[in-house]
Amino acid sequence: MHEHRTDARPAVWLVLPAAALSCAALPAAGNLAVLGAGLCALAAGLRPIGRSAWARAAAALLWGALLGLALLLLGDRFEVRYVWLYSGAELPPHLKLGNLWGGDEGTTLLLAAFCASLAARGRSQSVRVDATALIAAAIALLAAWLRPFSATPAELLAQAASQGMNAHLMKIWMLLHAPLVLAAYAWILALAAPALAALGGHAAQWPHDAQMCARRAWMLLTGGIGFGMVWAFEDAMYGLVWHWDPVQTAVFAVWCLLGAHLHGIPGWRAGRPAWRWMPATALCAAALTLVAMGVTRYEALASSHRYVGAASAPVYFALAALLAAAGAAMGWRGWRGRTRVAPAPLRQGFAAWGLRLTQYAFAFIAAASAGHLAWAFLASAQELPRPDDLKPFFATLANWAHGSELPALRAAFSQWDVNGYALARAALYPLILIGLLGGWFFMRRLSPRLGWTSLALAALACGGVWLEGGLLTREYTGTGVLSQRIVAVLPRIDASLAAGAYLALAASAWSIRTAARTAAGGHALAVGLVHVGSMLALWGALLSTALNGYSQHVVALSDDWRHDHHGYAFRVTGVDVERTADGGRADGDAGFRAFARIELLTPSQRLASGQTLYRDGRSAVEGYDGPMREICEILDYRYARYADSPGYVLHPFIERGWARDVQLWVSPAAAVAALEGGPQTPQATVVLRYFPFISLLWLGLMLTAAGALWLAFAPQRARRGKSVQSRT
């Protein structure tokens, strides 16, 4: 029997190139291949006999279909509707490949392929029903229903050769952000099977494979979020690294649940106090992952991440509900059969309680995020009025709006999204707790006395900056785009920064000493990098967001320097306009790209030069709405979403430095319109924005990703390191 499985394995994977070639040569066969993959995954989920073979067949078919779709994209096969919708002949090859996940059909297909691959490598032959394979089957069948290989209707081909790529996606980050997040989603969904088994009382010890799934999911999700922040920092639809977009909020809740889960893995045994807590967090993370996929496709809330016109949101929400129901059923079954779970008494020392409270803090932040997201959905469904204090730019825009436009503008600003201010206020309390507990946990490993002494000093420091004010409270000038309501929470943010510094210091000291004294140096350093990097990223995000500043200008195209009150000087020396097709969306032949040539003089008299991008699928005259509206669009992401049109993007010039990053946003719409014979003066609207200490965010993300990468893909050493930890 064993020889038969070994010989069959290469034969199964021969399906991959055969499926790829079939889909590329005969696209109509692609949808059948995806349907066949879904049925194979369904058989793997329901039939223990031959489960691995069925799962491998499903994965091979799905990856073959993806490879075939990639060949169709590279070959500009616009007779396939997916290629017509999302690609363009002028795109470079890497962006054509990036369109594999540029639409709902391709994204669903890629997620199904990831999930099927994890089901194929699983060890679940003894389980009657394999949840990982069933999830892969459901997503694969959804992809088959979306029909990624369907033919392009003749009327669409008659309109244009292709629709072109979404201009906001025409960035190199397209190749990194989306696939990393989807791969993380697959690893998270793979946690559902061991979590259900544990809740049902069928797992006495958390499987090592599931532990590695969680680590890899957290690493991939952190990397995906990081690349998304870099992307958002360069696009006017975002302009900031974070703004509690509904999709961001859902993903953040998943990230926090993973954090709670990972802090509960050490020493987990069924029967110990609160032993159901850890598998419950893993299952909630899997269910929220499906919710996040649904939120990305649901149009009820205002969002910058939406797949416009996608119809799969109800399916993802239904899958999340089914997974939650399965968890409740298995939990009830395990509780009813609790006598079969042998108690595993454990002395609950201070360290165990510290880890437990850390888990609770992460879970509280996740619950708060999910709760605010749910409230936004509820308020939208009940058509409750959105408070005026959540629409800071609306009054200004209403004064400049045309009478016929005002209803549409009012509707856009009345659309609900997550109240980021309230959520951030609620998250600061557990954030402070996590910093203090984490710092104490690492310090006590150096010395119990040092742990308690340092905790007392750190708590006093947090209390002091809370009452007397710290860096943010004293340096905040109110010149940024944030609401003045942030002033009320600045002392709380200062306390969280102090707690984070304590955790970073303690983790550094423990990891360096452990690396020097034990054979598990790599593991100790990786753990230190994860915690230190996370705290540096926290510092960078909070400091840059709270202390950001901006200034606005309307300048002529000349060699004259315009001085800014932040110590910078700049000039816009000219605008180059291109009207050649680039593969992005455009309104007929009216699309253009305008590159503004700029020079920036820093306070240290260092000269930096570059260009900004203004791209529009409309004609130049239609794209100009006046300087005041352009300024509001740059400063307020909600109005940027409202003003967005197919093929329109605005990208800044960014001068990076250790002390601050400076964005120079230039909208030369008036200058381009003047070239087209319009009545405008050839001038440019310029907004300079600066973000102090945001380099700490980028550095922290890199350190965190490096440490997490080691922990996720060095399992043997990680186990040795774990045993060293328990003795330290």
Q: Nearest to residue 692, comparing CAs of 662, 713, 716?
A: 662
Per-residue DSSP letter, 139:
H
Alpha helices in 382-405 (DSSP H): 394-400
Place of tokens 């939406």: 306
Residues 6+ apart with CB under 8 A from 106: 66, 69, 82, 86, 99, 100, 148
Torsion, CA 458, CA 459, CA 465, CA 467, rounded to 10? -160
| 711 neighbors 718 (Cβ within 8 angstroms) | yes
Q: Nearest to residue 458, comparing CAs of 488, 432, 492?
A: 432
What pLDDT score does 338 carry? 58
Mean pLDDT of the chain, nearest integer: 87
Q: With DSSP H G I counted as helix, E B as strand and the rest as coil, what are the percentages for the chain, rounded to 5?
A: 65, 10, 25
Q: What are the distances in angstroms from CA 626 to CA 268, 645, 685?
A: 61, 16, 9
3-class DSSP state of 200: coil
Residue 211 CA to residue 100 CA, distance in Å, equals 30
The yes-or-no verdict on residue 340 having pLDDT over 60 is no
Segment 62-92, tens digit of pLDDT: 999 999 999 999 999 999 999 999 999 999 9
Residue 252 CA to residue 241 CA, distance in Å, equals 13
What pLDDT score does 4 carry? 41
What pLDDT score does 138 carry? 96
Segment 11-40, tens digit of pLDDT: 666 888 888 898 899 998 999 999 999 999
Q: What are the distances in angstroms from CA 194 to CA 13, 38, 283, 326, 463?
A: 27, 22, 9, 13, 42
Segment 489-508, tens digit of pLDDT: 889 999 999 999 999 999 99
Using only C-alpha atoms, the chain has a radius of gyration, in whole angstroms, of: 27
| 557 neighbors 684 (Cβ within 8 angstroms) | yes
Segment 213-260, tens digit of pLDDT: 889 999 999 999 999 999 989 887 776 888 889 999 999 999 999 999
Residues 6+ apart with CB under 8 A from 436: 455, 458, 459, 462, 499, 502, 503
Residue 695 CA to residue 206 CA, distance in Å, equals 38
The yes-or-no verdict on residue 368 having pLDDT over 50 is yes
- Highest average pLDDT, of 169-173, 275-279, 323-327, 353-357, comes from 323-327
- Highest average pLDDT, of 112-121, 349-358, 580-589, comes from 112-121
Q: Nearest to residue 653, comparing CAs of 725, 571, 566, 556?
A: 571
What pLDDT score does 112 carry? 97
| 684 neighbors 631 (Cβ within 8 angstroms) | no
The yes-or-no verdict on residue 682 having pLDDT over 50 is yes
The two tokens of residue 658 are 């250790």
